[in-house]
Copies of this chain bind each other. A is one copy, B any other.
Amino acid sequence: MSNKLKIGLIGLGTVGQGVVKVLDKYDDIEIICCAVNNLKKKRDVAIKNLTQDAMEIASNPEVDVVVEVAGGVKMLDVLMEAIKNKKHIVTANKELLARHGAALFDLARKNQVSILYEAAVAGGIPIIMPIKTTLSANEFTNVAGILNGTTNYILTKMEEENLSYLDCLEKAQKLGYAETDPTGDVEGYDAMYKIAILSNIVFGKRIDINRIYREGITKIDAIDIQIADELGYKIKLIASAKKINHENRDDVLDIRVHPTLVPKNKPIADIKNATNAVMLTGFPVDKVMFVGPGAGEFPTASSVVGDILTIKSEIHSSKNILPMTICHHDKYAYQVDIEKTINCYYLRIDADNEPGVIGKIGSACGEFGINLSYIIQRNKNSQDRATVIVITEECYEQDMNKMITKLEKDNKIKVVNKIRVM
């Protein structure tokens, strides 16, 4: 019997082609079939046995490992079938895992197969395996990161070239960093799937993605980035999850994705362009940070092939299923609503340029117990309009929202942007 590891590949786009190229040097690993949408599309790589029916791969008795790099959720049934047929899974599909991880991991445990997914979070950065092995002695309190390269690229360009969001989106699309429909990236869905997956393994609980607070970068204006810079901050799309005390429980998770003012002295403020970063805080390790390429043909292939080699070396030959990679937790986390969280805020307020604006803002904040740490009126471009910038001390999100509602009852005052501060 040949000791070759036989791969069934699903998806032959950018990442799939990267995987084919990287696997080329391994004589003991063979891609024996591949499912694609379009059989006739021109590709960089030649693959035998192309099919449009991914289910063929799930049921092919020759296949040892199904490698899924198609994206989206439509391959759920195919992967479930593959697991039932005792095939190990390697996937880069963050959405599928974030939405249907519970079903997939339950079935995998039942069928004693492994699902490895290093490429699903932060592309080429090793993060899943370190959390499950080397860092497994830790009780984590916090995980936070820049998990979406597209939005970080756009924010970096907005900052460096003082361009609008739309101009930078267009640049990103031209360079292939953003898709024609950029919603998944710029509205924070991609980062949400990734922080859900990270939270799952960092805190050992299942995560309901519908309860993750999510806000994208489309409302960020160049002026916000410029003002933040003057005040000592960068604006980053931060995905984070932390354990908080809430309603007499100490195991509540605060999971969210939103633009954030990050103090420039924090290392994550320096992460530029399409680079990703993940920071973990826990005991006994304290703080560790991982930085690297979050996407791209080859970095993603590095993680996918790393998983394939792990299966080849550790699982396939010994029939061991790497207990540390198996999902053992069945309970859902208790997730807090954003309304009940405590944050500092940056507010950009547009008002008629007449006396008393700052007084009105101060009064409204005072009424809801919100202390200001900074307030300044900027009237650079207009005689009629005033821009007031506020940075608050910590307060409840719900109090902030009530304060804004109250303030905007004065129709000369408009809170143009509210951004949370790290």
Chain B residues, CB < 8 A from A136: 306, 309-310
Most buried by B among A135, A285, A301, A308: A285
CA distance A288 to B299 in the complex (A): 10
Tell me the complex Cα distance, A128–B130, Å.
Answer: 10
Q: Contacts of A130 on B, CB cut-off 8 Å?
A: 126, 129-130, 134
Question: With a CB–CB cut-off of 8 A, which chain B residues contact A318?
Answer: 318, 320, 323
Q: How many copies of this chain does the complex contain?
A: 2
A287 to chain B, nearest CB (A): 6
A193 to B137, CA, bound (A): 26
Contact (Cβ within 8 A) B314 A320:
yes
Q: Mark A307-340, 1 if CB is under 8 A from B, else 0.
A: 1111001100110101110000000000000000
Contact of A288 among B22, B126, B128, B138 (CB under 8 A): B126
Alpha-carbon distance between A318 and B326 when the two chains are bound, in angstroms: 14
Interface string of A282-317 (1 = CB under 8 A from B): 011111111111001111011101111110011001
Give the complex CA separation of A305 and B136 in angstroms: 8
Q: Whole-angstrom distance from the CB of A139 to the nearest CB of chain B? A: 9
Q: Which residues, 368 to 386 on A, are CB-close (under 8 Å) to B?
A: none
Q: Is the CB of B289 within 8 A of A292?
A: yes
A149 within 8 A of partner (CB) = no
**Residue numbers in B under 8 Å from A301 (CB-CB):** 137, 284
Give the residues in chain B near A324, CB-CB below 8 Å: 309-310, 313-314
Q: Which residues of B contact A287 (CB under 8 A)?
A: 292-293
- Kindly state whether residue A118 has any CB partner on chain B within 8 Å: yes
A291 in contact with B292 given A309-B137, A318-B318 (CB within 8 Å): no
Q: Which residues of B contact A308 (CB under 8 A)?
A: 137
* Residue A28, interface by CB 8 Å: no
Interface size class of A (residues with CB under 8 A): 35 or more
Task: Check if A267 is an interface residue, CB within 8 A of chain B.
Answer: yes
Counting chain B CB atoms within 10 Å of each CB, which of A118, A124, A317 scores highest?
Answer: A124
Which B residues lie within 8 Å of A309 (CB)?
133, 136-137, 324
Compute how far the CA of A209 lies from the CA of B259 in the bound complex, rounded to whole angstroms.
48
* In-complex Cβ contact of A134 among B22, B118, B284, B298 (8 A): B118
Q: Let me know if A125 is at the binding interface, CB within 8 A.
A: yes
Find chain B residues with CB under 8 A from A270 CB: 267, 270
Q: Are A134 and B138 in contact (CB under 8 A)?
A: no
Chain B residues in 8 Å Cβ range of A133: 126, 129, 133, 306, 309-310
Residues of B with C-beta under 8 A to A293: 285-288
Q: How far is the CB of A232 from chain B (nearest CB, A)?
A: 16
- Select which of B128, B286, B292, B320 is within 8 A of A285 by beta carbon: B292
26 A-B contacts (beta carbon < 8 Å)? A22-B284, A124-B284, A126-B135, A128-B134, A129-B130, A130-B130, A133-B133, A133-B310, A134-B307, A135-B302, A135-B306, A136-B309, A136-B310, A283-B298, A284-B301, A284-B302, A285-B298, A285-B302, A285-B303, A286-B292, A286-B293, A286-B296, A286-B298, A289-B292, A290-B291, A314-B320
Given contacts A22-B137, A129-B133, A136-B306, 19 further A-B contacts (CB under 8 A): A118-B134, A124-B285, A126-B130, A126-B133, A126-B288, A128-B134, A136-B309, A138-B302, A267-B267, A267-B291, A284-B299, A284-B305, A285-B292, A285-B298, A285-B302, A286-B299, A290-B290, A318-B323, A320-B320
